[in-house]
């Protein structure tokens, strides 16, 4: 292959494969981070509301049972949101997507530049770069699959493929 073809291939690969994957992982990371922030904010607001309802119950003795019921209900909703966030793991998924995005970026930056592609080993450098990048992307898919299997609980296959 010619040096120009290698440079063009590398530019297209970086634009359409690597940059696209970086954008995808970045969007997913931001979406999970927004969900985490929303759940933390909603929980805080609901717990403050529950405290206010409890204070109203103290101040209004005629409707104390109603205020206590409302305070308990609002607290239960806040607990439900917190439990959902903890079970789903918004923060963990956000961090994993961000880490994958940064790993892609790091591998891209360390990859060959158009100036490095001259000579007899230019093809080997391009192939090594593409293979490393695809290996990273495949390993991310494998780690996501393994994590989802681990979150299923008992009866999951262990590393040998045998059931627990």
Residue 78 CA to residue 44 CA, distance in Å, equals: 8
Q: How many domains does the chain have?
A: 1
- The CA-atom distances, in angstroms, between 47 and each of 50, 78, 84 are 5, 6, 16
Residue 100 in any domain: the answer is: yes
The per-residue pLDDT for range 24-57, each reduced to its tens digit, is: 999 999 999 999 999 999 999 999 999 999 999 9
% of the chain with per-residue pLDDT over 90: 57
Task: Give the pLDDT confidence score for residue 159 in this predicted structure.
Answer: 43
The per-residue pLDDT for range 67-103, each reduced to its tens digit, is: 999 999 999 999 999 999 999 999 999 999 999 999 9
Q: What range does the domain containing 16 cover?
A: 3-120
Task: Give the pLDDT confidence score for residue 137 in this predicted structure.
Answer: 86
Q: How many CB atoms lie within 10 A of CB 10?
A: 22
Residue 52 in any domain: the answer is: yes
Residue 160 in any domain: the answer is: no
């Amino acid at each position: 292959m010619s040096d120009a073809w290698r440079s063009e291939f590398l530019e297209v690969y970086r634009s359409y494969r690597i940059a696209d994957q970086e954008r995808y992982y970045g969007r997913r990371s931001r979406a999970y981070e927004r969900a985490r922030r929303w759940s933390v904010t909603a929980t805080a607001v609901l717990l403050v509301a529950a405290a206010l309802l409890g204070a109203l119950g103290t101040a209004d003795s005629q409707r104390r049972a109603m205020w206590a019921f409302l305070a308990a209900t609002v607290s239960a909703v806040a607990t439900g949101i917190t439990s959902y966030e903890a079970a789903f793991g918004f923060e963990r998924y956000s961090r994993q997507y961000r880490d994958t995005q940064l790993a892609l970026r790091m591998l891209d930056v360390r990859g060959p530049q158009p100036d490095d592609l001259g000579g007899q080993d230019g093809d080997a450098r391009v192939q090594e770069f593409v293979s490393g990048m695809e290996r990273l992307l495949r390993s991310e898919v494998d780690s996501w699959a393994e994590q989802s299997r681990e979150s299923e609980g008992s009866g999951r296959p262990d590393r040998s493929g045998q059931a627990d």
